[in-house]
Amino acid sequence: MENFLYILGHNIVPIFVLVLSGYALGKKFSIDMPTMSKLNFYLFVPAFMFVYLFTTEVNRELFMIGVCCLVMFFAQDIFAGLIGKMRGMDKGKICAFKNTFMYTNCGNIGIPLTTLVFTSSYYVVDGKTPFLDIAIAAQIIIMILQNIVSNTLGFYTAGRAKFNRSDSLKKIFSMPTIYVIPLVILFKVIGFRVDETIIWPALVYLKDGLVAIALLTLGIQLSTSTFDFSNFDVYLASLTRLIIGPLMTMVFIFLFGFTGVLAQVLLISYAVPTAVNMALVAVECDNEPDFTTQVVTISTLLSAVTMTFFIYMARVLYPIF
C-alpha cells in the first residue's frame, strides 16, 4: 500500500495536474492544436532525443536491450493489428489502436518510476543504491528507441490511414527526429563536443520542457475532444497496453535471457500507459484524435493499479538478491 500511494502521489498526480491545467486553458482560451503539436515535434522532441543520445554511452547489455525493444515493436504491431481486425475496426482505427499499444509513456512516467523503484529501501545495500545507474541507463535506451520509432513509424502508421505510402514517407522525412541519430553519430565520430558549444544550454532547456509542454498539449486536446465512456474499444486498447503489454514483455525477457535489474527494468518500462505524444501524432495526422486521447487518459488512470502489480511481479520473477 505504501508503494501504491507513493507512485500515485509522486508520478500520477503531478502528471494529471499538468493535463488538467492544459484542459482548463483549452476551455478558457482558443488555442490552436496544430501549432502546439508542431512545437512538440519540431522543437521539443528532437532536442530531447538529441541530448539523451549524445550523453548516453551504450555497452553490449544496453545494446541487447535495444535489440529486444525493436523486435517487440514488430510483435506488438502484428498483435494489435489482429485484435483490430477481429473487432472489425476500419483502417484508421486499427492504425490508432496499434499506436496506443506499441508506444509507452516511458519518459514521463518510466524514468521517475524506475528511479523510485531502484532507490527504495528494498534495493539499498550498505546505504547505497548499486543498481540505480544501470537501471536508469537501460530505461534511457528504451525511452530513446520509443521516441525514435514513435516519431517515425508511429507517424507512418497514423499517416497510412489518411495518406498513400509515398505521402506517409514524406511525412516521416519532414520530421526533424529522423535526422537526430545520424547527426549524433556524426558528431561522436568526428569528436565534436556539442555540449561545449553555446547552443547546448538551449538544447537542454528544450529537453527539460518536453514533459510539461506535451502534457499541457494533451490537456488542451482533451478540452476539444468528445468523450464516449461507453466506447468498448477505448477500454480494450487501455487494458491491452497495461496488461497484455507487460505479459508479452515477459515472453521476450525469457527469449533474450535477461535477468535481474535489466529484466525488472524491461517489465516496468512496458507496464506504463500509452505515450502522451501518440495523442499529438493523432492530431498531427488527423487520425482518430479523440479515440487516441481517450486511450492515453484512461490508460494513465488505470496504470496506478497495474503498475504497482507489475513492479511487485518484477521483484518476484527476476530477483536480484
Give the 3-state secondary structure of residue 128: strand
- Average pLDDT for 118-127: 80
Q: Give me the residues paired with residue 104 across strands.
A: 274
**Percent of the chain beyond pLDDT 70?**
92
- Average pLDDT for 22-51: 88
Cβ(99)–Cβ(281) under 8 Å? yes
Dist CA 191 CA 203 (whole Å):
18
Could you tell me which residues come within 8 angstroms of residue 235 by beta carbon, excluding any fewer than 6 positions away? 298
Residue at 321: amino acid letter: F
| Per-residue pLDDT, 119 | 81
The predicted-structure confidence for 149-201, as pLDDT tens digits, reads as follows: 877 777 777 666 666 667 666 766 777 877 888 899 899 999 999 999 999 99
Could you tell me which residues come within 8 angstroms of residue 63 by beta carbon, excluding any fewer than 6 positions away? none
Cβ(12)–Cβ(110) under 8 Å? no
**What pTM does this model have?**
0.80
Q: φ and ψ at 274, to 5 degrees?
A: -60, 140
Q: How confident is the model at residue 141 (pLDDT cuts 50, 70, 90)?
A: confident
| Per-residue pLDDT, 134 | 86
Rounded to 5°, angle at Cα 258 from 255 and 260:
145
- Average pLDDT for 99-115: 83
Number of domains composing the chain: 1
Name the residue among 102, 59, 123 with its Cα closest to residue 240: 102
User: Grid coordinates standing for 198?
Assistant: 553555446
| Per-residue pLDDT, 11 | 65
| Per-residue pLDDT, 301 | 82
Dist CA 44 CA 205 (whole Å):
9
Handedness of CA 283, 231, 227, 146 (dihedral sign): negative
Domain limits at 268? Answer: 2-317
Q: How confident is the model at residue 67 (pLDDT cuts 50, 70, 90)?
A: very high
| Per-residue pLDDT, 170 | 72
pLDDT for residue 146 is more than 80: yes
pLDDT for residue 98 is more than 70: yes
Name the residue among 184, 175, 105, 99 with its Cα closest to residue 143: 105
Average pLDDT, the chain: 86
Dist CA 199 CA 276 (whole Å):
27
- Average pLDDT for 284-292: 83
Neighbours of 319 (CB within 10 A): 11
| Per-residue pLDDT, 244 | 96
Q: How confident is the model at residue 69 (pLDDT cuts 50, 70, 90)?
A: very high
Give the 3-state secondary structure of residue 174: coil
Q: φ and ψ at 88, to 5 degrees?
A: 75, 30
Q: φ and ψ at 104, to 5 degrees?
A: -105, 160
CATH number, residue 131: 1.20.1530.20
